Structure 1
């Protein structure tokens, strides 16, 4: 049994969502994403182009011509651009702890969960969470138990649009009961997606029903629920165990007039101040992780609120009761 280091609350910043992988992990992650939701190839084409030194048109042409070959190539590009050991150095230099997300997809004789757990052994700056698929409820429970008990992962993550499964399905109650009983926070992709699944599969109403049926389940709205930010705030007001992190949305864009994030700045400074979290998904941005965290300073919130979002709220979520007592 492998157990990661217990979470430390000393870091200045806690990033609740990023992808830190080696080549084989990128192949599995991008393969799952671009096969189930090819539109993401278009959405991130400019980012892939910048990483590879090609034009956006060349990336789009490669994806259209041979998706499998393009995924193999993009895995090479991503692995060259993002080295886990370099990430550790960046985390130490800027005093950041990161939750890095795994997945259930096959990878090097195991799953991406195994891959991410191995990367997490590089540093206690990494907190690995295990990804499970909602497509097979029984298998999801088995993988969740394995991720926690064998790989030492203290949280779970799910992406409903990739599985084409509504998290409210009663067949998944066993998974949510397990997470509740084991005190495992669950990150759920929330808000816009670019898959063939209905956008509403990641909407606040889905989480509202899930949180109503499982009130002790700690849920993190991944990517903040945009464009339903006002509804997401109302969701947090209704359910004290629901949190929100805004990864993949750059703070400078969030702060722009008309972005749709205005309700978060208002209510996130008041009624739900203690349940807003920082997240990066830094590979989607054209700058380093530390720059994304530093950009939170442009948000129209008070300094004490900024500290709560960047660190304090995540500390309370991540430190398990037994660790807090110890």
Structure 2
């Protein structure tokens, strides 16, 4: 982070059917070990909705976590499935966003749950829920842009992609009417901050768009100020 001049980053827990891959407590330990450098995104077991909501509420209200991270392909459930909805309602109550993964999966698992079109139903049912589609949405990135354009509460983050791999349509969206909708991400350790930042000039962003992309949009959406 220091090498790339990144002052603050979001760390996310990962929870799947086999249990936590990265636990909420591990994220909390990192936050406490490096005060002021990190904010957390909680995760939970979808199969126990009551306990999941209790977990989310605990980490947001007691430990200052800034959102919920759900990885649909781990569960092989689209984001329209009923098991997500108690957590989504809790996000609205707590005023924190939900971070999803859109696009194809890296592992050899079905990518269907990552279709951006599934987010449309969620956005209709929860108009006050801030929804972030992570990993750009490729090969359905145009669909992701369309959903983010249609709904004021839907956003995109660029984690898992270095700038030279951003689709042309996404860059044009960032440079135009989507400048308030796209946030920088890395997906560390797969992509390090310095590797992603080194290619940023390839995007030819204006100063105001660059500031929104790197910091301003995330501050607003995650209530980081």
Q: Give the TM-score normalised by the residue count of structure 2.
A: 0.89
- Give secondary structure in 2 for the equivalent of 1:284: coil
- Corresponding residue number in structure 1 for 2:67: 155
The structure with the greater share of residues assigned to helix is 1
Q: 5+ unaligned residues in a row in structure 1: which ranges? A: 1-86, 255-260
Within 2, Cα distance between the matches of 1:244 and 1:227? 14
For residue 198 of structure 1, report the CA deviation from its aligned partner. Answer: 2.9
- After superposition, give the CA deviation of every residue in 1:254-306 in whole Å (9 maximum; x if it has no partner): 3xxxxxx1111112222211010000113113xx4223123211114333322
Gaps of 5+ in 2: none
Quote the Cα distance in structure 1 between the aligned partners of 2:6 and 2:74.
33
Distance (Å, rounded) in 2 between the aligned partners of 1:300 and 1:227: 23
Q: Secondary structure at the match of 2:199?
A: helix
After superposing on structure 2, the runs of 4+ consecutive aligned residues of structure 1 that deviate more than 6 Å are none
* 1:117 Cα deviation after fit: 0.5
- Residue 16 of structure 2 is aligned to residue 112 of structure 1: no
CA distance in 1, matches of 2:185, 2:6: 15
1:196 Cα deviation from its structure 2 partner: 5.8
Which structure exhibits the higher relative contact order, with contacts defined as CA atoms closer than 8 Å and separated by 6 or more residues?
Answer: 1
1:100 aligns with 2:6: no
Give the direction of change, closer, same or farther, for the CA distance of 1:182–1:269 in structure 2 (3 Å limit): same
What is the match of residue 16 of structure 1?
Answer: none
* In the alignment, structure 1 residue 313 sits paired with structure 2 residue 220: no
Q: Return the alpha-carbon distance in structure 2 between the equivalents of residues 171 and 249 of structure 1.
A: 29
Q: Does the C-alpha gap of structure 1 residues 253 and 244 become closer, same or farther in structure 2, counting only changes over 3 Å?
A: same
2:205 pairs with 1:301: yes
| 2:80 partner SS | coil
Q: Distance in 2 between matches of 1:180 and 1:240?
A: 15
User: Counterpart in 2 of 1:284?
Assistant: 190
Contact 2:6–2:193, Cα closer than 8 Å, also in 1 = no
Alignment of 1:274 with 2:180, yes or no, is: yes
Give the length in aligned residue pairs.
221
Structure 1 residue 146, shift from structure 2 partner: 2.3
Q: What's the RMSD between the two structures over aligned residues?
A: 2.1
The alpha-carbon distance between structure 1 residues 271 and 150, as it changes in their structure 2 partners (threshold 3 A), is same
- TM-score normalised to structure 1 length: 0.63
Change (3 A) 1:106 1:202: closer
| Match of residue 214 from structure 1 | 126
CA distance in 2, matches of 1:115, 1:169: 28
